Homo-oligomer: A and B are copies of this chain.
Amino acid sequence: MRIVQCVPNISEGRDLEKINQIVAPLKDKEGFSLISVEPDANYHRTVITLIGDPEKMIIPLIQFFENAKNLIDMNTHHGEHPRMGAVDVTPFIPISGITMEECVEYAKSLADHVSFMFQIPVYLYAKAANTLERVSLPEIRKGEFEGMKEKIKDPLWTPDYGPHEIHPTFGVTAIGARMPLIAYNIDLNTKDEKVASSIAKAIRQSSGGFQHIQAGPAFLEDKGFVQVTMNILDYKKNPIYRILETVKMEAKRFHVDIMSSEIVGLLPKEAISDSLKYYFALRDQVFDKKMSLSEMTNYAKTDLMFRDFDETKIIEYHVNRGDE
């Protein structure tokens, strides 16, 4: 069974009725689930999460693009988040039984359809990018909707699909494929932001640390402690246990303890099991590959110190619900 996560972002985060109309084609479909629809009024943007068989997603996604085109006018859109189109970006993320290359093919198939049917210019991005300039989404989006009118005429920014001018109300869109990204925070037993900052520096790529880690300090006012807050861009190369243990090691010099850690959003089962294997090996305990998601959740709460965590945070929960 081939499973992807697909996370389209639309440039509407305030009018819930409109949002409902736009995502309607993605509801109650066979082969994939609509996991969440998260509008943000400040950003004026909604993040939509689908999980399932990408083959089954393409036609509903085309209808979803059509609705967004009919209901969103970028000329009157203003929010905190940078944006360039009514559907701003659509990444396909391999979860299980599927390669990145196949995800790129689905991205291209969707791009081909929406550009042809609705005259929307499409840039392929991330792992689907055809040029180095298009790997980074912020690079493509620079100038935003207003700037794209001119930018699209630059030969460097000729769209990969569709007309060589923006759609007058939709703008342009990016479709691509990328690795799942894990938003992970580690709670420190201190209010001292300098400690979190020093630890973040030790682990993050930009200051010489691990290659696939973006990290910084954060003070949680309501909770009264600091966090090292991070994105793990490649959990296979920088597994959670390695980051957690390195943070523990660095925190020791400040005599600060790690109290807990948290996952924001979803994460793939493999990201947990790969890390649990480390702790199982320490205990000389056999790791049962057929462990249930709820068992895995319990181990993650103790070994990886996850708080506020349950199996619905694991991507596979939404896929195999019947099997559990």
Q: Which residues of A contact B (CB under 8 A)?
A: 202, 205, 207-212, 234, 237-238, 242, 245-246, 249-250, 252-255, 277-278, 281-282, 284
Given A253-B282, A282-B253, the answer on whether A208 and B207 have CB atoms closer than 8 Å is no
Contact B249 A237 (CB under 8 A): no
Contact of A202 among B242, B255, B282 (CB under 8 A): B242
With both beta carbons as reference points, the residue of chain B lying nearest to A238 in the complex is identified as B208
CB-defined contacts of A210 to chain B, threshold 8 Å: 208-211
List the 9 closest pairs (A to B, CB-CB), nearest first.
A208-B237, A253-B281, A208-B211, A245-B249, A253-B278, A252-B282, A208-B212, A208-B238, A246-B246
Q: Given A246-B249, A282-B253, decide whether A211 and B202 contact each other with a Cβ distance below 8 A.
A: no
Chain B residue with Cβ nearest A281:
B253
Per a CB cutoff under 8 Å, which of B207, B250, B252 touches A237? B207
Residues in B with CB closer than 8 Å to A238 are: 208
Most buried by B among A205, A208, A212: A208
What is the bound-complex CA distance between A202 and B245, given in angstroms? 13
- By a CB distance below 8 angstroms, the chain B residues around A255 are 281, 284
Given contacts A209-B237, A211-B211, 9 further A-B contacts (CB under 8 A): A202-B242, A208-B210, A208-B211, A208-B212, A208-B238, A242-B246, A242-B249, A254-B281, A255-B284
Query: How far does the alpha carbon of A282 sit from the alpha carbon of B282 in the complex, in Å?
Result: 23
A209-B281 Cα distance, complex, nearest whole Å: 21
Chain B residues lying within 8 Å of A246, measured Cβ to Cβ, are 242, 246, 249
- Cβ–Cβ < 8 Å partners of A254 in chain B: 281
**In whole angstroms, what is the CA distance A194 to B242 when docked?**
19
Complex: A208 Cα to B203 Cα, angstroms: 12
A245, A255, A284: residue with the most chain B Cβ atoms closer than 10 Å: A245
Chain B minimum-CB-distance residue to A233: B208
